[in-house]
Chain A
Amino acid sequence: MTSDQILTDLTDLLRDVLDIPDLVLSRDTTAADVKGWDSVNHINIVVGAEMRFGVKFRTAELDEIHNVGELVELIARKLNK
C-alpha cells in the first residue's frame, strides 16, 4: 500500500470518527488543526487505524507522532515490513 493510499484511507477514517464528511488532511495536519480531534477522539482514531489497517502500534511509537504525515509513515512501515 502506498503512503498516498494510506492517507486516503486515513482521511476516510477521520471523517467517520469526527463526523466531518468533507475533511481534508495533509501530511502537515496536526490534531490542533482539526475540530473535534481531542484526546478522546485521538484514541478512537488510533484504535480505528489499528482496526482498518490491521496493524498494532506500540505505546512509544504513538508518543512520537506529531502530525498526520508521521502517522501515515508509521502505518506504511508496519504494512510493508
Chain B
Amino acid sequence: MASTQSDSSVLRIPSGGNLVASTVEERRKAAMDALEAPCTQAVLDLTDAEVVDSLGITLILGLFKTCQKRKVAFSVEGANADLMRVFKLFSLPKLFPIREK
C-alpha cells in the first residue's frame, strides 16, 4: 500500500470524537460527503476517538469498502493502543494500513 503522499489527492476524514452507536450515522454522512471530493487516498483520523464500538468498526469497514470500490487507497491513523489491539485482533491491518497514535 505504498501510496504517494500528494497533498492534493489525500482526503483526511477526522473521526470527530468516538465512533459509537450515537455518532456513527452522523459520521457516516460526513464521510460520504467528504468522499464526494475526488481523491486518490483517504485517511481516517482517529486521533480524537477514544472508543470505537461495533458500529464504529462497521463504519470503518464500510468506508474501506467504498474506497476500495472507488479505487481510493484507504488507511487509518491515530488509533490509540486499545483500538490498535482491537484492529489487530480483528486482522484489520491485513485489509488496510493502520497507524498507531
Instruction: Answer yes or no: do A and B interact.
Output: no
Q: Which A positions have Cβ atoms within 8 angstroms of B?
A: none
